[in-house]
């Protein structure tokens, strides 16, 4: 596939000949995390092979990979390069594996020059789709913004609408939100539309955060299959009368996405408000003081005599006193300190639960042991597992799912949001719904702790 755009050609930085294709031939197993480059990419890397191995292949600057020790071909890699005046860059990569397999990917980032070096910073690798033609055009607008056109299936169009800042989607990806949407609308025939290539999607590379942002979706209704795909797409959408679904423009995209998300908000985002009941506020102050001072006598006075302490039958004042006076009790006191430092929620007029993470969505949400909830407003989700990595989004008391690789000791955890976004969050800002939680009930004696539980 060759991309020819007069505007793109006019704006291409013609120093691209200095970039040898092998510089872009990375090993994703060692160079990427979450599809982001771990380090800036050296675009003036040492040349691999001879200059005669570089050739033009339908508009791609291509090189033949060195053969293996047995003399077998390892294929080739080629690129087309589009760079704006501010250094924002899109590379279209074409990889041929040595057999019949050919794949295309997009690499985005920002080119910078440091002394004699040319580097690609904040590099990210994107899919170009799986079952359709993929990228069909790339160009640079007069204002310097890089745009690209991608052909998508109807199924991928739904994914693009749900993840408008993640670049062209892959048909094999399915987030919890997408599955919930399909189940909600009882649309089990989505596989029929994974290859219905009826949609044109336009993306723009945001020069600030270097994310590919969806700016337009358009159905091309030119045969029976595309019309069937469009009808299926419409069934998924809560369409308003003034919205033209056959072409969704940038101004309408947020509203359309919000309507899609609305039925599922209580499954992934949780309202946490300041407690207004003065009596429970006073009780919590007493409780925090008792825990801080490790005062078991006061704590027992604030606890129901039949307090539940586990799912195996343990409970009551005697078990609670034994639990908090054993040799390892300081760790348990610290756990109580932590949960009381977090917000709680009023489940009813006579039931209060703390922290909120152990109580939200208990009946309507199917949590797994990989489920976590962010415990503060504006929690940063980073592109890479470092504090100074680009922030992909801010999360407000949202559910996420911990992803492989699982490392209990790592500071940052790779998580996936309900909508399917992936990034790294500091584990200090994550809490499992199965971690320790406390239920406090209103009785004739006032508020009392009814249960202190962990697990499921």
Q: Which two tokens stand for residue 340?
A: 């009381």
Nearest-angstrom CA–CA distance, 60 and 43: 16
Q: What is the rounded average pLDDT of the residues 82-87?
A: 94
Which stretch of 79-83, 86-90, 116-120, 442-446 has the lowest confidence by average pLDDT? 116-120
Q: Give the closest residue to 175 by CA, choosing from 423, 429, 450, 416.
A: 416
Q: Which two tokens stand for residue 280?
A: 């429970």
Q: 298: how many CB neighbours lie within 10 A of its CB?
A: 15
Q: Are 256 and 215 in contact (CB under 8 A)?
A: no
Contacts of 299 (CB under 8 A, 6+ apart): 287, 290, 291, 320, 324
Determine the pLDDT at residue 259.
Answer: 85
How sure is the predictor about 139, in pLDDT bands with cuts at 50, 70 and 90? very high
Q: Mind listing the pLDDT tens digit for each residue in 311-342?
A: 877 889 999 999 999 988 899 999 999 999 99
- Return left, alpha or beta for 397; rule: phi > 0 is left, psi -120 to 50 is alpha, else beta: left
Higher pLDDT, 106 or 12: 106
HEC readout, the chain: CCCCCHHHHHHCCHHHHHCCHHHHCCCHHHHEECCEECCCEECCCCCCCCHHHEEEECCEEEEECCCCCCCCCCCEEEEEEEECCCCEEEEEEEEECCCCCEEEEEEEEEEEEECCEEEEEEEEEECCCCCCCEEEEEEECCCCCEEEEEEECHHHHHHHHHCCCCCCCCCCCCCHHHHHHHHHCCCCCHHHHCCCCCEEEEEEECCCCCCEEEEEEEECCCCHHHHHHHHHHHHHCCCCCCCCCCEEECCCHHHHHHHHHHHHHHHHECCCCCCCCHHHHHHHHHHHHHHHCCCHHHHHHCEEEEEECCCCCCEHHHHHHHHCCCCCHHHHHHHHHHHHCCCCEEEECCEEEECHHHCCCCCCCCCCCCEEEECCCCEEEECCCCCCCCEEEEECCEEEEECCCCCCCCCEEEEEECCCCEEEEEHHHEECCCCCEEEEEEECCEEEEEEEECCC
Contacts of 255 (CB under 8 A, 6+ apart): 243
β-sheet bridge partners, residue 104? 94
Q: How far is CA 79 from CA 60, 207, 418, in A?
A: 5, 21, 34
Which stretch of 18-22, 93-97, 382-386, 396-400 has the lowest confidence by average pLDDT? 18-22
Determine the pLDDT at residue 14.
Answer: 38
Given a cut of 70, is residue 443 above it in pLDDT? yes
Higher pLDDT, 313 or 227: 227
Q: In the predicted model, what is the mean pLDDT of the chain?
A: 87
Q: Are 437 and 357 in contact (CB under 8 A)?
A: yes
Contacts of 24 (CB under 8 A, 6+ apart): 41, 43, 77, 79, 91, 93, 107
Nearest-angstrom CA–CA distance, 355 and 342: 5
How sure is the predictor about 187, in pLDDT bands with cuts at 50, 70 and 90? low
Determine the pLDDT at residue 17.
Answer: 47
């Amino acid at each position: 596939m060759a991309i020819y755009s007069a505007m793109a050609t006019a704006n291409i930085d013609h120093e691209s000949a200095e970039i040898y294709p092998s510089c872009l031939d990375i090993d994703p197993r060692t160079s990427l995390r979450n599809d982001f480059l771990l380090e800036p990419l050296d675009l003036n890397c040492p040349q691999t092979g001879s200059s005669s191995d570089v050739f033009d292949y339908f508009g791609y600057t291509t090189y033949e990979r060195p053969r293996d020790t047995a003399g077998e071909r390892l294929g080739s890699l080629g690129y087309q390069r589009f760079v704006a005046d501010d250094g924002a860059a899109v590379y279209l990569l074409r990889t041929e594996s040595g057999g019949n397999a050919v794949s295309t990917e997009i690499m985005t980032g920002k080119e910078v020059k440091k002394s004699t070096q040319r580097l690609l910073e904040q590099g990210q690798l994107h899919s170009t789709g799986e079952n359709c033609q993929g990228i069909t055009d790339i160009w640079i607008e007069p204002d310097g913004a890089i745009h690209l056109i991608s052909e998508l299936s109807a199924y991928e169009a739904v994914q693009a609408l749900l993840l408008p800042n993640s670049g062209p989607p892959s048909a094999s990806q399915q987030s919890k939100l997408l599955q919930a949407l399909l189940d909600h609308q009882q649309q089990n025939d989505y596989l029929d539309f994974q290859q219905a290539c009826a949609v044109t999607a336009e993306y723009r590379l945001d020069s600030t955060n270097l994310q590919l942002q969806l700016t337009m979706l358009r159905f091309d209704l030119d045969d029976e299959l595309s019309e069937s795909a469009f009808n299926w797409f419409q069934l998924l959408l809560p369409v308003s009368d003034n919205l033209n679904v056959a072409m969704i423009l940038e101004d309408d995209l947020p509203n359309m996405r919000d309507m899609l998300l609305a039925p599922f908000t209580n499954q992934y985002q949780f309202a946490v408000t300041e407690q207004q009941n003065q009596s429970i506020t006073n009780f919590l102050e007493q409780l925090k003081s008792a825990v801080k001072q490790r005062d078991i006598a006061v704590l027992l006075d604030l606890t129901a005599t039949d307090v539940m302490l586990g799912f195996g039958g343990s409970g009551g004042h005697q078990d609670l006193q034994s639990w908090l006076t054993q040799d390892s009790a300081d760790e348990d006191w610290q756990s109580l300190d932590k949960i009381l430092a977090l917000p709680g929620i009023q489940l009813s007029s006579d039931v209060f639960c703390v922290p909120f993470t152990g109580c939200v969505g208990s009946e309507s949400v199917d949590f797994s042991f990989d489920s976590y909830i962010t415990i503060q407003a504006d929690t940063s989700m980073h592109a890479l597992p470092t504090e100074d990595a680009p922030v992909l989004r801010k999360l407000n008391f949202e559910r996420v799912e911990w992803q492989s690789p699982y490392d209990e000791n790592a500071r940052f955890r790779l998580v996936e949001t309900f909508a399917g976004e992936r990034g790294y969050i500091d584990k200090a800002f994550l809490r499992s719904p199965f971690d320790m939680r406390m239920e406090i009930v209103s009785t004739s004696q006032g508020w009392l702790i009814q249960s202190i539980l962990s697990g499921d």
